[in-house]
């Protein structure tokens, strides 16, 4: 009987032990599975984070490259004050960053714009300034996904164009007489020095004209300063139309004008001065509601015959002009050449 009880208790004990072991194993396995799932989830998160970081790293590298490209292009362009030079730098940087076959910089009034707009192989980007359109960039054979890079660089190029044009406008204001739109006295003297150095180095002639409006004070007193201003503008127009592109015109002061004639001897200078004088004498100047006739007197000095320095040549041209005034006005006189000049 005792043996049977012992066997039953042993069986019960073994069953309880196995049940306990199995339960502990299940708890362990469940915990292990949870740990595996947690580790797996952590691994997946780390993998995703790594992937995100790789993408972000690539984006930052691209952004850094883009910023460096913009910085390098901006640095080089700011050293230039010519639109063509700026475009060459832009084109160089564009070539380094995108693939294309051809790039053009076009002004707003270019006759090819409409044709380019209909060309599907061309990417046309408008360059805009504060006051509107300043031009176009036409890029041929460029992939769709690279157009954004073109836009970024083109925007920087547009800023460079605005800066260049502002600089040119300020420079023009500094050297141009606001009334007559020819050079100021200061700039004409600088150009005179440059041309005199060139003439000295090459051993060629150079002539200088001083031109004064006759009886200008009388016109101002009789008709007013607005009419006087119109007379000066019209005489400026005659002077500019009577000289070559290489000749340099300026307003010397008040009603006095000056013209530098490179590679021109005394005879050539006299021909130009007489053309100006006779054209002014024959012209009817409309000053608002008034039609006016006026004349000019001209003085000529020539390098190296009359002097070898700027001040000397100006003084002698001024002396010749003074003699033209004393001879009755509406006259051309050359320094060192005497005798009455025939009036037109």
pLDDT in tens, 71-105: 566 666 666 678 888 888 888 878 877 888 888 88
Residue 265: per-residue pLDDT? 96
Tell me: the pLDDT tens digits for 217-270? 999 888 888 999 999 999 999 999 999 999 999 999 999 999 999 999 999 999
pLDDT, tens only, 259-287? 999 999 999 999 999 999 999 999 998 88
Q: Retrieve residue 309's tokens.
A: 């320095």
Which residues, including other chains, have CB under 8 Å from residue 189's CB and lie 6 or more apart? 310
Q: What is the CATH number of domain 185-334?
A: 3.30.70.270
Which H or E run contains 295?
none
pTM greater than the 0.95 cutoff: no
Closest CA to 156 of 131, 116, 124, 128: 128
Instruction: Report the C-alpha gap between 293 and 105 in whole angstroms.
Output: 48
Domain positions in the chain = 83-173, 185-334
d(CA 321, CA 298): 5
């Amino acid at each position: 009987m005792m043996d049977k009880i012992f066997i039953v208790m042993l069986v019960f004990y073994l069953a309880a032990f196995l049940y306990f072991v199995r339960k502990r194993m299940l708890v362990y396995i469940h915990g292990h599975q949870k740990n595996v799932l947690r580790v797996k989830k952590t691994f997946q998160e780390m993998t995703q984070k790594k992937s995100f970081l790789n993408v972000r790293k690539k984006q930052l590298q691209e952004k850094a490259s883009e910023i460096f490209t913009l910085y390098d292009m901006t640095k080089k362009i700011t050293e230039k004050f010519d639109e063509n030079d700026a475009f060459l730098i832009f084109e160089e940087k564009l070539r380094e960053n995108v693939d294309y076959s051809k790039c053009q910089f076009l002004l707003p009034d270019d006759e090819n714009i409409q044709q380019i707009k209909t060309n599907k192989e061309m990417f046309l980007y408008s360059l805009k300034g504060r006051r509107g359109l300043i031009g176009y960039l036409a890029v041929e054979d460029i992939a769709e996904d690279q157009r954004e890079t073109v836009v970024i660089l083109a925007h920087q190029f547009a800023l460079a164009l605005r800066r260049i044009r502002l600089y040119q406008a300020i420079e023009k204001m500094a050297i141009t007489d606001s009334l007559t739109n020819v050079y100021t006295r200061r700039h004409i003297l600088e150009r005179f020095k440059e041309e005199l150095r060139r003439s000295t180095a090459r051993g060629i002639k150079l002539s200088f004209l001083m031109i004064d409006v006759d009886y200008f004070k009388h016109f101002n007193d009789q008709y007013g300063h607005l009419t006087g201003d119109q007379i000066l503008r019209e005489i400026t127009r005659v002077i500019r139309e009577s000289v070559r592109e290489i000749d340099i015109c300026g307003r010397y002061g008040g009603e006095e004008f000056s013209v530098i004639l490179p590679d021109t001897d005394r005879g050539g200078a006299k021909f130009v001065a007489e053309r100006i004088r006779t054209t002014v004498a024959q012209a009817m100047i409309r000053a608002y509601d008034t039609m006016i006739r006026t004349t000019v007197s001209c003085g000529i000095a020539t390098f190296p015959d009359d002097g070898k320095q700027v001040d000397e040549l100006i003084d002698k041209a001024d002396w010749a002009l003074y003699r033209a005034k004393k001879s009755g006005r509406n006259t051309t006189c050359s320094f060192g050449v005497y005798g009455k000049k025939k009036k037109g």
